[in-house]
Amino acid sequence: MTDRIAKKSRKRKKIIKISALIGVLLIGMIGYGMYWAFFDMNRLPVGEYVTEKTSPDGTYTIKAYRTNAGATTSYSIRGELTFNNSTQKTKNIYWNNREDTAKINWLSNDKVVINGHTLEVPNEKYDFRQ
Pairing of the two strands 126-127 and 91-97 = parallel
Q: What is the pLDDT of residue 31?
A: 85
User: Quick check: 38 pLDDT over 70?
Assistant: no
What average pLDDT does this structure show over 107-130?
92
**Could you tell me the pTM of the whole model?**
0.71
CA-to-CA distance for 85 and 55, rounded, in angstroms?
12
SS3 127: strand
Q: What is the pLDDT of residue 67?
A: 86
What average pLDDT does this structure show over 72-83?
86
Q: What is the pLDDT of residue 66?
A: 92
SS3 122: coil
When the pLDDT of each residue in the chain is averaged and rounded to a whole number, the result is 87
Q: What is the pLDDT of residue 71?
A: 66
What average pLDDT does this structure show over 34-46?
70
